[in-house]
Amino acid sequence: MWVMQDQAASSGYRPGAPEFSDFLDRFTSPSEAPKVSVESLPDPSEKKLAKLRKKLEAIETLKERRERGEKLEANQLAKIEKEGELLEEIKILNELQKLFIIR
């Protein structure tokens, strides 16, 4: 009996499992294809902008802490120095959205 189970496992056969063709038909049938519109897809630039804004908020918090006299770590100071780069990237993404995204 163990030999038969080992052979079945190595062949990929599983009793009661659907055949691959049934699986393939399910996803190639136009009537069952998922309905996705371009409008429903997330905008990658919006996601990127949200991440950049979050980084800017963290930088503002670090700047406030520095102004209060707290001593910041080297990596925190490096984040503050990258503020200009982040602002430039946000500006570029906003311009690209104006040019290419029709809403």
What pLDDT was estimated at residue 1?
Answer: 47
| Contacts with 72 (C-beta within 8 Å, 6 or more apart), sequence order | 62, 65, 66, 80
- CB within 8 A of 35, min separation 6: which ones? none
Task: Give per-residue pLDDT as tens, 51-79.
Answer: 999 999 999 999 999 999 999 999 999 99
**What pLDDT score was predicted for residue 10?**
56
Q: Find the helix packing angle between 44-67 and 74-81, rounded to 10°.
A: 120
Residue 7 is inside which H or E element, if any?
A: helix 2-11
Tokens of 45: 């630039």
| pLDDT for residue 12 is more than 50 | yes
State pTM to two decimals. Answer: 0.56
